Amino acid sequence: MVEKKMSQLEQVLRSGRFAITSELNPPDSANAEDVNRAAMILAGFCDGINAVDASGANCHMSSMAICALLTRIGYEPVYQISCRDRNRIAIQGDILGAAAMGVQNLLCITGDDVSSGDQPGAKPVFDFDSIQLLRTARMMRDERVFLSGRKITSEIPLFLGAAANPFVPPYDWRAQRLAKKIVAGAQFIQTQYCFDIPRFKEYMRQVRDLGLDKQVYIMVGVGPLRSYGAANFMRTKVPGIVIPDEIMDRLKKTPKERQQEEGKQICVEILEQVQEIEGVSGVHIMAYRQEELVAEIVQEAGLLPRR
Amino acid sequence: MKKFSLIFQELIYDFVHWAIQPLKPLLKPNSRMEKIIIPLEKLAKEVAYNCQMCGQCILHSTGMVCSMNCPKNLRNGPCGGVRLNGHCEVKPEMKCIWVRAYEGASLMPKYGAELLRVQPPVKRNLQDSSAWVNMLHGLDESSKVEWLSAEEQEKLEDLWSK
């Protein structure tokens, strides 16, 4: 009975198999076809597809709508909710609505500030922080009440996730912050892009020392850099992404027409390395505007067949 | 030096906490006395901590740094956008509130571990009221649902020394 209600992602992680999630590039259209097409490329290789919530504070089709479209065609979404755009009343309602459409995986994130997006004049909401959002979602699921104490009249089967960024300061506090997220309700974690393996290893050592790897499934964020220019943009303009100099040099030394291939190769190498780290349960592949590479990356990292 | 300053601030916190208890019957929410005390509280905390008057002060739990100065109003720790120099994603010239909070808490013998408290959502309706009055009458913490069990919270705070 309980088995049936589990999301596919939760089942894979619980079974101890190496899990893979990826991200759908949200369309700037009102075409369901755009979502279907993007999902089709990813679905065969992933245990869950993230529907991003206006990441980078840029406006796209909403994550809620993308989730609805994905569940319609039988794919499994990971519903991202950021705290930037909606207050607690809207968010709790959205969680109910998403669950009603068959969404089970929820990823609770703070969200990039509006200043990094295409409409910096927007009002930042941040009514919740990510930990308060997690705790509230857990409360809705486990205690079946809204934050006010008012009853919810049905079950809400949810698998709760959170983000982590081990690659930025305060480094030594990052593992303890993860512990906070776990207590608040996080069952799985998707990390920010991992390019700095030594730093990540140190983080995982701290995570293991606190015994957290036994309490949460950690999926490492990886992704192919499309070119030196794209890497430079991510490194300087996108908050929270750290790319070490060695990787930048490696791309710079590669002729322009081969940079995409090199970026993919770096991604495969990182994926292979993080798989070996104790406490890592899966990867989250972010291939913005190069979704077609996800299949190749999964294959070249030796992660096929998937089912 | 910084450590002494923080230990001193812990003592002041304890003192204020103790000293205002007998004033509970006088200091009622929305009373004229609250109106009188608000400017005093504001002055004291604004000079020292750039207090934003959220009305539910958790300063001693966040390394004696006012977390409401975080542009994202985070109450439970840093976001993932902290810059490599430890500065804020939104305001590059400002050091991240949570980098400072962690540094402060690390030097605080009594309340440092409270940095691991899972802080409940901010009650926006307490904005610009007196945190002292709200604390005396439990307005800052009252809630119909249990936010986190004492047992869970204790287990978490035990990690601080690890």
pLDDT of A38 > 80? The answer is: yes
Residue A1 confidence class, pLDDT cut points 50, 70, 90: very low
The residue type of A93 is G
Q: What's the mean pLDDT when you consider all of chain B?
A: 95
Contact status of A145 with chain B (Cβ, < 8 Å): yes
Nearest-CA distance A14 → chain B (Å): 23
Burial of residue B35 (CB within 10 Å: 0-12, 13-18, 19+) is exposed
Averaged pLDDT for residues A224-250: 96
Residue A3: predicted pLDDT: 43
Nearest Cβ partner for A129 among B75, B143, B159: B75
Judged by CB atoms closer than 8 Å, whether chains meet at A147 and B121 is answered as yes
- Collapsing DSSP to helix, strand or coil, B158 comes out as helix
| Predicted confidence band of residue A307 (pLDDT cuts 50, 70, 90) | low
Whether residue A268 is predicted with pLDDT greater than 60 in this model: the reply is yes
Task: Map out the domains of chain A with their CATH numbers.
Answer: 2-226+269-300 (3.20.20.220)
Nearest by CB to A163, which of B80, B124, B144? B80
B81 contact residues in A (CB cutoff 8 A): 112-113, 116, 165, 168, 239-240
What is the tally of structural domains in chain B?
Answer: 1
d(CA A299, CA A275): 14
Q: What pLDDT score does A288 carry? A: 87
Rounded to 5°, the CA angle A198-A199-A202 comes to 90
Q: Which residue of A108, A134, A141, A173 is the best one to mutate when testing the B interface, meaning the one whose CB has the most B CBs within 10 A?
A: A173
Inter-chain CB proximity A177 and B78 less than 8 Å: yes
Query: pLDDT tens digits, residue range A70-115?
Result: 999 999 999 999 999 999 999 999 999 999 999 999 999 999 999 9
Check pLDDT > 90 for residue A273.
yes
Distance, in angstroms, between B14 CA and closest chain A CA?
Answer: 26
Q: Assess A40–B contact: CB distance below 8 Å, yes or no.
A: no
- CB nearest to A180's CB, from B72, B124, B156: B156
* ipTM of the prediction: 0.96
Rg of chain B, C-alpha, whole Å: 16
- Residues in A 276-305 with any Cβ partner in B closer than 8 A: none
* Residue B123 pLDDT class (50, 70, 90 cuts): very high
Query: Omega before B25 cis (within 30°)?
Result: no
Average pLDDT over residues A196-216: 98
Helix, strand, coil abundance in chain A, percent, nearest 5: 45, 15, 35
Question: Does B119 sit within 8 Å of A176, measured CB to CB?
Answer: no
Q: Average pLDDT, stretch B78-107?
A: 97
How many CB pairs (< 8 A) connect A and B? 125
Q: Would you say residue B41 has pLDDT above 50?
A: yes
Is the pLDDT score of B35 beyond 90?
yes
Q: Is A284 helix (H, G, I), strand (E, B) or coil?
A: strand
Put simply, the answer to whether B80 touches A192 (Cβ < 8 Å) is yes
| From B84, B99, B148, residue closest to A242, measured CB to CB | B84
In the predicted structure, residue B161 carries a pLDDT above the cut 70: yes
The average pLDDT across A118-126 equals 97
Buried-exposed string A82-110: b where 16+ CB fall within 10 A, e elsewhere = bbbbbebeebbebbeebbebbbbbbbbbb
A245 closest CA partner among A270, A222, A228, A264: A228
Owner of token pair 């995409």: A260
Rg (CA), chain A: 19
Q: Please indicate if any CB of chain B lies within 8 Å of the CB of A113.
A: yes
Q: Evaluate if residue B162 carries a pLDDT over 90.
A: no
Q: What is the domain extent for residue B36?
A: 2-161
Taking CB atoms and an 8 Å limit, are A169 and B84 in contact across chains?
Answer: yes
pLDDT for A178-194, tens place per residue? 999 999 999 999 999 99
Q: Counting every residue, how long is chain B?
A: 162
Enumerate the residues of chain A whose CB falls inside 8 A of the CB of residue B89: 112-113, 116, 239-240
Chain B, 5 to 64: residues with Cβ < 8 Å from chain A are none
B146 vs chain A: nearest CA distance in angstroms?
Answer: 9
Percent of chain A whose predicted confidence (pLDDT) is above 90? 94
